[in-house]
Amino acid sequence: MSEKQVFKPNKEFAKNALIKNMCEYQDLQDWATEDYEGFWGSYGKEKLDWMEPFTKVMDDSNFPFVNWFEGGKLNVSSQCIDRHLDTKKNKAAIIFEGDRGDKQIVTYLELYYNVNKFANLLKNKFDVKKGDRVIIYMPMIPEAAYAMLACARLGAIHSVIFGGFSAEAIKDRVKDADAKIIITADGAFRKDKPYMLKPVVDKALEGATPVKKVLVVQRNFEDVEWVAGRDYSYNELIDLESSHCDPEPMDSEDPLFLLYTSGSTGKPKGVQHNSAGYILWAQMTMEWVFDVKENDTYWCTADVGWITGHTYIVYGPLAMGATTVMFEGVPTYPDAGRPWKMVEEYRINQFYTAPTAIRVLHKMGEDEPGKYDLSSLKVLGTVGEPIDPPAWKWYYEAVGNNNCAIVDTYWQTETGGHVISPLPGATPIKPGCATFPLPGIMAEILDDEGNKAPVGEKGLMCITRPWPAMIRGVWGDKERFIKAYFGDVKKDGKPVYFTGDGAVYDDDGYITITGRTDDVINVSGHRMGTAEVEAAIKKHDNVAEVAVVGKPHPLKGEGIFAYILLKEDDGVADELEEMKAINAIIKIEIGNIALCDDMVFVPGLPKTRSGKIMRRILRSIAKGEEITQDISTLEDPGVVDTINKMVNS
Ligand code: WT7
């Protein structure tokens, strides 16, 4: 498989696809380019059911604070449920498979009842109202989706926290969002064993907290501590509520959710998405990129704690009235054939996962796909990091039987939905390449001066016009929002959205993402700020200074590599203890997902005379690369050689 190899869309598939060829793609993109508001206004009318119609498509007079579909009113939970009841009430909305193989099918009518009861419970028992922040810390069970949609129904702003985050991480987010309630579960099942979430919440709520109530879904029925007057059982209360709850009429720009993500400081930022623009793009990209048909079954393996789970397990599929699969377990248990067994059992048509999962499934079960009937598959997707050629090849051949398009979807928490991606019926695919901007998205690779980057030269991945699903703010921090996304790149003298990623055009105009240009790393598809890990490590008493960088990792994509200067360095025996103690602190401060793969105790860090740590040099050393940077301006150039010898000999 050479770099230049191009894979044309399957002809039979393309015949029935929503976008059938590159001419159709180009027509749409030309329309958007020539009449941006006409394009979006037309989709806004066609795709959404409005309680009150919008009067203005976009107002960017206060850029980067942009309003879409002004004057319009709608409710996102109604978009996802109520409007499908006439035609799909008995269609499966969610197919759930538990870790131990237990199955549950939730129709749209059942989803309606469950979400309405959930909303009534939140409203009547816990006084949750429009604008309140609600933390959701849940396993992958249908109740997580009900909780999100119930918040949307009431106009409350949910903030889902991934179940792998620690009590401290929850504490920070609770405080930043000033949340009044947490919805959680006692725990769930993983690899046939119960694991716990409620005790983590209990710990997060020790000391002063704005949270007054905790609603607990009992999933594994393990014993948990119960704080009287604070903790309530969902299972005991839910059936006392009525199954009808009027949806709150929401302005287009009323917030829908916050989702905390890592940036270049130690403090995660609460990315805010609002109602109309977000749900419109979630639905449109679902339809275009996965090309889901009426009787299809679609499975995205992400966790609801990440943006992929928000947009492509819950909101996108339900907004279009599709059937979405939710899976509680891990893809390699009981063996690395689990996903393929599920594809066969549920006749899955679209399968969406991360390169890190593909690499693990490949390594642990190369021949597993061959043991199952995967002929239902039509579209395969990847997300989160660039996919490497061996993983791509195996996915295409062994899983897709050389028949399925692989859509390499590039996007971010901040973009709300896909922004650069192949269209399965139209785009000739090049492995490892996100290809072209989706229609309506004015994505361009720019150089430092804001000019279009020349072919073959790495530039900055930017989006030059606001789009409906764009991040609306960093919760409580306007300055950070402006600085983090609109401070670096200008085009024609005007600031544009910079993703933080580098990218390059090839001769045919295809876009390949080359990775972050900032201090954000990508560990098993989880976004991690090196500053966050550094802040955690610094909590250890004996740590004087620390610098964290990413290092290529065969399965995880990137691993975490920490250079640590101890206050007292007493030799190797103690160092091992020290490493364990430092990882224990990371576990407490952030969670297992941020544990270091490598730690080295160094006598000093390479710094400029002004005191800035030269992370680029440390990245090169971690990779075992030759040091080509000029080190003569360092405070102590000799330290580079010392560290290099410690790491690479
Ligand atoms: C970062 C965003 C988008 C949902 C999952 C991650 C990287 C994402 C791709 C891709 C290369 C990718 C970027 C981006 N990324 N998709 N197809 N090819 N890199 O969301 O946690 O907000 O992370 O993931 O570096 O900035 P996220």
Average pLDDT score over residue span 417-434:
97
Residue 630 phi, psi dihedral angles, 5° rounding: -75, 120
Q: Which residue in 402, 404, 400, 424 sits closest to 340, CA to CA?
A: 400
Choose between 626 and 121: higher pLDDT. Answer: 121
Ligand 1: centre distance to CA 485 (Å): 15
Environment class of 490 (CB within 10 Å of its CB; exposed 0-12, middle 13-18, buried 19+): middle
Nearest to 18 by CA among 456, 438, 385: 438
The label of the residue with tokens 């009547």 reads 124
Pocket test for ligand 1, best of 527, 532, 558, 593 (most atoms within 8 A of CB): 527
Ligand 1 atom at shortest distance from the alpha carbon of 409: 17
Residue 426 pLDDT exceeds 60:
yes
With the most atoms of ligand 1 within 8 angstroms of its CB, the residue from 269, 306, 411, 433 to mutate is 411
How far, in Å, CA of 584 to CA of 125, rounded?
38
pLDDT of residue 538: 96
Mean pLDDT of 267-286: 97
Ligand 1, atom 6: nearest CA belongs to which residue?
Answer: 384
Contacts of 573 (CB under 8 A, 6+ apart): none
Torsion angle (degrees, nearest 10) of CA 408, 414, 137, 585? 90
User: Facing residues of 409 across strands?
Assistant: 383
Q: What is the mean pLDDT of the chain?
A: 96
pLDDT at 572: 61
- Ligand 1: distance of its center to the CA of 513 in Å? 9
Reading the block at residue 536, the tokens are 């955690």
Instruction: Place 3 in a pLDDT band, splitting at 50, 70 and 90.
Output: low
Q: Read off the DSSP letter of residue 234.
A: H
pLDDT at 491 over 70: yes
**532 Cα: distance to centroid of ligand 1 (angstroms):** 18
Distance 515 CA to ligand 1 centre (A): 9
The average pLDDT across 81-100 equals 98
Distance of CA 271 from the midpoint of ligand 1 (Å) = 15
137 Cβ contact list (under 8 Å, min separation 6) = 160, 161, 163, 165, 170, 182, 183, 184, 197, 200, 201
- Protein residue with its CA nearest to atom 8 in ligand 1: 384
How many Cβ atoms from other residues are within 10 Å of residue 487's Cβ?
A: 14
Using most ligand atoms within 8 A of CB, pick from 303, 462, 513 the residue to mutate for ligand 1: 513
Question: What is the best residue among 272, 311, 383 to mutate for testing ligand 1's pocket, by most ligand atoms within 8 Å of CB?
Answer: 383
Give the long-range contacts of residues 610-613, CB within 8 A, separation 24 or more.
Answer: 611/635, 613/547
Q: Which residue has the tokens 């393309």?
A: 14
Supply the pLDDT for residue 443: 98
- CA distances to 132, 164, 190, 493, 581 from 167, rounded to whole Å, are 22, 10, 20, 44, 18
Q: How far is the CA of 381 from the centre of ligand 1 (A)?
A: 13
What are the pocket residues of ligand 1 if the criterion is a CB atom closer than 6 Å to any ligand atom?
A: 261, 307-308, 383-386, 408-413, 434, 499-501, 513, 516, 522, 527
Confidence check: pLDDT of 610 > 90: no
Q: What is the CATH number of domain 106-256?
A: 3.40.50.980
CA 272/CA 260 separation, integer angstroms:
9
Query: Does the pLDDT at position 514 exceed 60?
Result: yes
pLDDT at 571: 63
Q: What Cα–Cα distance (Å) separates residue 188 from each residue in 224, 313, 329, 370? A: 13, 19, 9, 31
**Are domains 106-256 and 519-648 of this chain identical in fold?**
no
CA of 516 to the centre of ligand 1 (A): 9
Distance between start and end Cα atoms, the chain: 35
Summarised one tens digit per residue, pLDDT across range 160-218 is: 999 999 999 999 999 999 999 999 999 999 999 999 999 999 999 999 999 999 999 99
Query: Ligand 1 mean position to 463 CA, how many Å?
Result: 15
Residue 494 predicted with pLDDT over 50: yes
Going from the Cα of 410 to the center of ligand 1, the distance in angstroms, rounded, reads 6
In the chain, the percentage of residues whose pLDDT exceeds 70 is 99
Instruction: Give the closest residue (by CA) to ligand 1 atom 27.
Output: 412
> In whole angstroms, what separates CA 496 from the centre of its chain?
22
Tell me how far the alpha carbon of residue 435 lies from the centroid of ligand 1, in angstroms.
14
Atom of ligand 1 nearest to the CA of 414: 22
3-state secondary structure at position 601 = strand
The confidence score (pLDDT) of residue 630 equals: 86
Q: For residues 47-70, give the mean pLDDT.
A: 98
* CA separation, residue 91 to residues 111, 145, 328, 370 (Å): 10, 17, 22, 30
Q: How far away, in angstroms, is 449 Cα from ligand 1 center?
A: 25
Q: pLDDT tens for residues 228-237? A: 999 999 999 9
pLDDT of residue 1: 46
Q: Where are the domains of the chain?
A: 106-256, 519-648
- Answer for the pair 348, 299: CB distance below 8 angstroms, yes or no: yes
Helix (H) or strand (E) holding 485: helix 478-486
- The tens digit of pLDDT for each residue in 516-550 reads 999 999 999 899 999 999 999 999 999 999 999 99
Name the pLDDT band for 504 (thresholds 50, 70, 90): very high
CATH classification of 519-648 is 3.30.300.30, yes or no?
Answer: yes
Nearest CA to ligand 1 atom 23: 412
